[in-house]
Amino acid sequence: MLAVAINDLYSATVEVPDQNRKHRQQGFSLALAQVLIKTTGAKDIAAQPGVSDALSQASNYMVKYAYLPRPAIVEPIESDGVPIEQNTPLSVQFAKAAIDDLMRKLDLPIWPANRPELLIWVVEQTASGYRFVDEADLPPELASTFKSRGQPFQLPLYDLNDQLALNALAAWSLNEQQLGDAAKRYGADSWLVLRYSEVSSGAVRGSWYLAGRSGKLAGEGTVLNTLESDSESAFLSRSIDQVVDRLAEQMAYFADAEANLFRVVVENINSFAAFSELNHFLSGLEIVNGVKVRSIEGDTIILDLAMEGESRVLLRALNKESRLSRVTQLDNDSTTELTSVAGPRTDTAAYFRWQAAR
């Protein structure tokens, strides 16, 4: 499972005390802050220059909003015998083009919507040994933190196949071979182990371990970080925030004032349908501003991609596309054009073979 396109990056749901105008405007600002956290990958985005002014004018970027039904409660919530008024959920949808323009105007990082899905193992050390914490026993903060950061994830099934591939002790021990083998079932290129135990003070101490196949999401190696929190839910939330901070730092880019050209050479483009599919894919990448055909010879096409960020971000997106297979330089006379480009600077070309979807 190479990447998942996040569909709700430009919407958020917040809670407001009631439906009056003042609280509605405050809700719009909170919702915009959440959207910017998801689209930039920066949890502290509200502290960046110019963002506070944008938050105060959040309605300028909004498409629509709606008040949602309050969640049902089994028993009335009271404080000193006085019922506490429930907050009202406010759902806000922002315009993608307006948010994208805002990020470029304020020179904020841009985190593309196609993001690798993490496979997550949660392991707890107890007095009786080690155990996997399945979905039914996980605090809701795990899913809500991932959602608030715009990072897709999946949990193992923990069925017989999973049990045969990986036990809790091996996961706790960070057995790379077994973790990698167990991840293959889910098509995961990257995985995260969250392991923790309760210490004598009542606090929760543990670590997160981010790893993946060579050259993929986690960089050249693996990442292990240890921390301590007041509770299980706090530990999970802090760990996930640290993990997502790292992922976003690797995958986000800043828009350049002057577009750069990146040359892509693709073979096996043997029909107009194949060309249309390739062009649609490339044009849909956030980092790509334009696609220009440089030359076509036989089934090989040379394209110049106008990009507004770093080539590493573009290459990561190309490498994760299942229809593109990276190859060595093609033995084709048409590729000699690579040395004769005028205009904006051009990075080294990348060579691929196209495999149309079946």
Q: Quickly list DSSP for 229-256.
A: ESSHHHHHHHHHHHHHHHHHHHH-B---
Check residue 275 and give its pLDDT.
Answer: 87
Q: Inform me whether the pLDDT recorded for 1 exceeds 50.
A: no
- CATH architecture of structural domain 116-251: 3-Layer(aba) Sandwich (3.40)
Taking the C-alpha atoms of residue 243 and residue 124, their distance in angstroms, rounded to an integer, is: 19
Where does the pLDDT of residue 356 fall: very low under 50, low under 70, confident under 90, or very high at 90 and above? low
What average pLDDT does the structure give for the chain?
A: 87
Token couple for 185: 């079932």
Check residue 190 and give its pLDDT.
Answer: 86
For residue 287, give the amino acid letter.
I
Check residue 342 and give its pLDDT.
Answer: 38
Supply the pTM of this predicted model: 0.79
Q: Which residues of 285-306 are buried (b: 16+ CB within 10 A; e: fewer)?
A: bbbbbebeebeeeeebbbbbbb
For residue range 260-275, list pLDDT tens digits in order. 889 999 999 988 788 8
Q: Inform me whether the pLDDT recorded for 336 exceeds 50.
A: no
3-state secondary structure 161-220: HHHHHCCHHHHHCCCHHHHHHHHHCCCCCEEEEEEEEECCCCCEEEEEEEEECCCCCCCC
Domain ranges of the chain: 4-105, 116-251, 260-354
Where helices occur in the chain by DSSP H, the ranges are: 21-40, 51-56, 96-105, 141-149, 160-165, 168-172, 176-184, 232-251, 272-283, 311-319
Where does the pLDDT of residue 224 fall: very low under 50, low under 70, confident under 90, or very high at 90 and above? confident
Residues of the chain above pLDDT 90, percent: 61
Q: Cα 127 to chain center, whole Å?
A: 36
Where does the pLDDT of residue 169 fall: very low under 50, low under 70, confident under 90, or very high at 90 and above? very high
What would the CATH number be for the domain defined by 260-354? 3.30.1360
Domains 116-251 and 260-354 equal at CATH topology level: no
Check residue 340 and give its pLDDT.
Answer: 39
